[in-house]
Structure 1
Amino acid sequence: MESSAQAKAPVTALAGPYGHPLHPALVAVPIGAWIASFVFDLASRVVDHPGFLADGSRWLIAIGVLGALAAAVTGFLDLLAIPPRTPAFRTALVHMSLNLAVTAAYAINFLARGGQPAAAPVPWGALAASAVSLAALSVSGYLGGKLAYRYGVRVADESTQAEGYRVPKEDL
């Protein structure tokens, strides 16, 4: 199998069918949860009773960590389909490493916020940690886009994609 064709095929059904990988769908959970958490963090600094926002942020971080773990499983399966020693494989390793670091940072952030209901705004340190984590996540997302849109990892080949642009004969 040609190297680029190998990177398009799923390693197992758990990775999602040909041309429709699960990893891109699953990453929406941690990305959305962590962005919402950061909004809650900021909002907790400007309202009179910030406890509910600080608590909500902490739980959004937890949801993001759990979602990231699910996305990591399918992402790792996609990585296994990429031939080693290629630019796509090196990009995927950096993408994976950044995501694992971000997930670990958020897990630590969750634990550092404590288990008791919050009465105060999110501390500046926790807010800064979230901002740095989101910046790293943005870089990783850029690399994930490069994997899909430049290198075509787990994207259907052009002849398969062309099916979506053919006008049925009865419509001509």
Structure 2
Amino acid sequence: MTVNADLRQAKQPVSGALAGPYGHPFHPILVTVPIGAWVSSLVFDIASHVVDRPAFLVRGSMWLIAIGVIGALAAACVGFLDLFAIPTGTPAFRTALVHMTLNLAVTAAYAGGWAWRHSGGPAGQEGVGAGQLALSAVALAALGLSGYLGGKLAYRFGVRVADEAAQADGYRTRPPS
């Protein structure tokens, strides 16, 4: 394949019904669920050390972690479809593999963190444990790195982004009447 053919292939959905139509992939919209949930869970974890009765924040953080894991699995399903559109052996494909690996590791870390918290029994009068808070912070930092790579895939390599001819439609002005 030529570079232009590889680039065109990476822009097309494997399945428009499952991964989103041309120029409007579902993956970027679905990743907002785990990102928002996990950022909020870290805020709850930190806040659990500030308030007098932190049990509601500890429980809330557990719910947010679970919501994030479920959202991450949904985002991963359509992310895999986007990965299949990228020709193997390319820098874009290698970047996508690192992006995917980081995201799966982050999701596993949060799932493990949820199990760790769940095994501790009901939320007590103490905030989230230091180890659990540290795990969330490290996982969130890794998620940030993965997000950087996802941005590189879209904005540098143009994966699943409409080509410039389609983008140009948004910049046409109407002729004067």
TM over 0.5: yes
Does residue 72 (structure 1) correspond to residue 80 (structure 2)? The answer is no
Q: 2:170 corresponds to which residue?
A: 164
Specify the alignment match of 1:129 in structure 2: 135
Residue correspondence of structure 1 range 37-116 to structure 2 within 5 A:
37-114=41-118, 116=121
Q: Deviations over 1:25-69 (max 9, x none)?
A: 000000000000000000001110000000000100000000000
**Whole-angstrom CA distance in 1 between matches of 2:160 and 2:172:** 22
TM-score (norm 1): 0.97
1:139 and 2:145 aligned? yes
- Percent of paired sites with the same residue: 69
CA distance in 1, matches of 2:140, 2:168: 36
Aligned with residue 4 of structure 1, among 4, 7, 17: 7
Q: CA RMSD in A?
A: 1.1
The Cα of 1:112 is off from its aligned counterpart by 0.3
**Structure 1: tracts of 5 or more residues without a match:** none
Q: Which one-letter code corresponds to 2:70 in the other structure?
A: L
Specify the alignment match of 1:117 in structure 2.
122
Tell me the secondary structure at the aligned position of residue 93 of structure 2: helix
State the distance in 2 between where 1:50 and 1:130 align.
Answer: 17
Secondary structure of 2:118's counterpart equals: coil
Which residue of structure 1 lines up, in the alignment, with residue 161 of structure 2?
155
Give the ranges of 4+ consecutive aligned residues of structure 1 lying more than 2 Å apart after TM superposition: none
Return 5+ residue gaps in structure 2 as ranges: none
Aligned-partner SS, 1:20: coil
2: CA distance, partners of 1:92 / 1:9:
16
Q: Distance in 2 between matches of 1:160 and 1:117?
A: 54
**Aligned equivalents of 2:173, 2:79: Cα separation in 1:** 34
Per the alignment, residue 36 of structure 2 pairs with: 32
Q: TM-score, normalised by structure 2?
A: 0.94
